[in-house]
Chain A
């Protein structure tokens, strides 16, 4: 158990640093890059939690694949739905609505 303490504490400090970074970043005038930055940092935090806290670094491919599939399918849902909104009035304004 001792041997686990050090890496877990380091990961925890890393998570707090990322949190500080994302809060600070949200006050900067990043414009349209802002969501990309904050979600990029969130992704990094999530990876740290999954890999170290949840112990996925020690598990087999099946377990990793399960969570990965969840993420891939979520990406499908988000991207194709958003694509509809973003191209709805493209080239032909107010075609549909």
Chain B
């Protein structure tokens, strides 16, 4: 580990305690550029906003996680003995709403995208810093609505708000929950807009499109989806609220309205939303794999175009959620084909990562282990996705635990692993301190095994016919449910580990230096933690991306 910056500050205090005091870079960093609450809550610094988001999404991650814990406890026995039927419905609805809109979608883009995109392209901030702050406040308005729903007794429609259940029959706070998602959508839109404009207009001299880190490219693709898909969800939720509040029955079958139209509009957003969650994860993994293998990324342009391809084709597959809904079977066949097509760019990425590792000098650091976890779990999630994309096979497993397992492999196994990978990889950059590598490795392993123990049994459960969204089930499924619940306990504890050692590192960790992983990229050329304005002078880029020195054959 290169120690370009050492803890020189305050020799008297340093001797008094074992803690390393402020380093020189920390003194002038964004973290010390103001200590008042005001300097945090009214900051326009993208790095501080990223930290605000980090705290916020972690908060919602634990609320959503608690709902999951309740459900897994209830599912230990075939009877519903912890939650009432109504309570179970409310638990999985809030779990879905919170995890999708308040954790997964903002997680990587709003924390790491916010922090890193300006640093990676050589800019002092995002194009619209105040809009960035506004987006965080909008996120919290939506978040407070959700917490209100939680306290007021919840909502039981499922995170999909299907009509006519949501518009005509559901009791509970549908309007408030829909309003929460409606509001948080604007936060997504503003973030996506900000990223696109930033990447277009604020690249440093020499930072051509072909030199952009893959992290930035993938976030560009994500932003395109955020901007083009979210408004459709916004208006669809507005239509539900109008139906519930003012009786304007747009989807009411009694008036000739069609609930399938609702499903089309909803999935036009919500399928691409899956790519909003997974593309940033792929962004992270591309960086992690290259840094761990110490080699240039294999097939840079293939990865770039597969990101853009996923963003585009991802919009053409939504109706595979509706195969058994009574939709036209001809359209079903078209969507089935297109859903298989979207697997191609994802496959290209996996092959490219693997090829990048080939003959690399791999270091088994925590970020790399998380990246490997992502690739393994993403492949399982992706391949079971192919089963679900096929019209005939889907009929058998539709709305069973097979689907639940599939999308948790993508979203939790994939995105959450990548989120933790990013957190470990860039933690030294964000805070200037190195955490315990051993604990990091252990966490990565525990998350991987806990995750598989939780969700692999659910594939079998689903294949055997256990429907999703039920908490009273046939006793023959109990063994697998208990296994899954046991796994979720391990997973839950593994998610808590980083809390301890990352926060411990804040105070007792060794100063990390500018570039602890010896990675390429502009973000590693600035001090850790970076100064308020990122670069004293806007850098001029003359090197290709990922220009790790490849050792010659037989070389040391």
Give residues in A with beta carbon < 8 Å to B.
62, 69-70, 73, 76-77, 80-81, 83-90, 92, 95-97
Contact B228 A70 (CB under 8 A): yes
Contacts A69-B228, A73-B315, A77-B268 hold; do A96 and B327 have CB atoms under 8 A apart? yes
A83 to B319, CA, bound (A): 11
Number of A-B contacts (CB under 8 A): 51
Closest Cβ of chain A to B319, distance in Å, is 7
Interface centre among B200, B268, B316, B330 (most CB of A within 10 A): B330
A92 to B228, CA, bound (A): 35
Contact B316 A76 (CB under 8 A): yes
Contact A84 B315 (CB under 8 A): no
Contacts A80-B316, A84-B319 hold; do A62 and B200 have CB atoms under 8 A apart? yes
Give residues in B with beta carbon < 8 Å to A.
200, 224, 228, 232, 258, 260-261, 264-265, 268, 315-316, 319, 326-331, 334-335
A84 to B320, CA, bound (A): 12
Q: Return chain A residues, CB-CB under 8 Å to B319.
A: 80, 84
Contact B315 A76 (CB under 8 A): yes
Closest Cβ of chain A to B270, distance in Å, is 13
Q: Return chain A residues, CB-CB under 8 Å to B335.
A: 80
Contact A84 B260 (CB under 8 A): yes
- Nearest B residue to A60 via CB reads B200
Q: Return chain A residues, CB-CB under 8 Å to B258.
A: 85
Interface of B is mostly: helix
Closest Cβ of chain A to B389, distance in Å, is 16
Contact B224 A88 (CB under 8 A): no
Contact A88 B328 (CB under 8 A): yes
A92 to B268, CA, bound (A): 26
A69 to B327, CA, bound (A): 27
- Nearest B residue to A63 via CB reads B200
- Cross-chain pairs A/B with CB under 8 angstroms, 23 sampled: A76-B315, A76-B316, A77-B232, A77-B264, A77-B265, A80-B264, A80-B319, A80-B334, A81-B265, A81-B268, A83-B331, A84-B260, A84-B264, A84-B327, A85-B258, A85-B328, A86-B328, A90-B330, A96-B326, A96-B327, A96-B328, A96-B329, A97-B326
Q: Return chain B residues, CB-CB under 8 Å to A97.
A: 326
Q: Return chain B residues, CB-CB under 8 Å to A84.
A: 260, 264, 319, 327-328, 331
Q: Return chain B residues, CB-CB under 8 Å to A77.
A: 232, 264-265, 268
- Nearest A residue to B225 via CB reads A73
Contact B264 A81 (CB under 8 A): yes
Q: Return chain B residues, CB-CB under 8 Å to A86.
A: 328
Contact B315 A90 (CB under 8 A): no
Contact A83 B328 (CB under 8 A): yes
A80-B319, A90-B328 given; 9 more Cβ-contact pairs under 8 Å: A73-B315, A77-B232, A80-B316, A80-B335, A81-B261, A81-B264, A84-B264, A86-B328, A97-B326
Contact B228 A87 (CB under 8 A): no
Contact A88 B232 (CB under 8 A): no
Q: Return chain B residues, CB-CB under 8 Å to A85.
A: 258, 328
Q: Return chain A residues, CB-CB under 8 Å to B315.
A: 73, 76
A88 to B329, CA, bound (A): 7
- Nearest B residue to A77 via CB reads B268
A92 to B328, CA, bound (A): 10
Q: Return chain A residues, CB-CB under 8 Å to B268.
A: 77, 81
